[in-house]
Amino acid sequence: MLALADVTKEYDFRPVLANVNLTLEPGKRYALTAPNGSGKTTLLHMMCGLSRPSRGAVTWQGKPLSARARRQMGVVLQQGFLYGDLTAVENLLFYARLYGLSGARKLAQDWVQRVGLNDAADLKVKEFSKGMKQRLSLARALLHEPALLLLDEPYDGLDRTSRQLFQDVLSDRVRSGATVFLVTHQEDEARFADTHLTLQYGRLVEVR
């Protein structure tokens, strides 16, 4: 599926990532832990096509990242991609229609329930707490059943119940054959991964 070949990223000629090579496999969990400012978000943004490498290539099934490839991905990033003036259900409906999914309303309602937001289904998202927004972002990212899920510190600020919910939903997706790539500051989370990665001086290395 997604592969990075000799990917280097510089900001104003300052290297952040150097010659990163990575090939993701279906049905696997990856965790990336590394200190603040080491380039984790930068890497994730290149993986989902939000930013381009300075050198090297990001490919999907051997071809350059296209809009079609990006439809195979679900992302939970620091920016939630949610509309504050829409309710939880309306947000999911918006994305379901954007993806051209059939049974959009039922799907939106099911996902609101799946992430435990039933009581807040018709509340505007601007009235949501951070944890509620994160739950809705997870639902938004999974609506279209992506083959690859990329998450940037999804557990940040979540209570134990929300965290367990995330873990359950992610495990469920992996069992269905999806790949999960998780950036986290929580080393204990990395234990659940098939592959634990870190960044050292801009290079991606496996933690053994």
Which residues of this chain interact with ligand ATP, rule CB under 6 A?
A: 11, 16, 34, 36-42
One-letter amino acid for residue 199 of the chain: L
Which is closer to ligand ATP, CB of 41 or CB of 109? 41
Which is closer to ligand ATP, CB of 51 or CB of 195? 51
Shortest distance, CB of residue 41 to ligand ATP, whole angstroms? 3
Owner of token pair 């510190």: 153
Shortest distance, CB of residue 115 to ligand ATP, whole angstroms? 24
One-letter amino acid for residue 73 of the chain: M
In angstroms, rounded to a whole number, what is the distance separating the alpha carbons of residues 65 and 88? 30
Which is closer to ligand ATP, CB of 11 or CB of 81? 11
Handedness of CA 94, 117, 110, 142 (dihedral sign): positive
Judged by phi (left if over 0) then psi (alpha if -120 to 50, else beta), residue 147 lies in alpha
Shortest distance, CB of residue 76 to ligand ATP, whole angstroms? 14
Which is closer to ligand ATP, CB of 21 or CB of 78? 78
Cα-Cα-Cα-Cα torsion 198, 167, 144, 177, nearest 10 degrees, comes to 70
Shortest distance, CB of residue 195 to ligand ATP, whole angstroms? 18
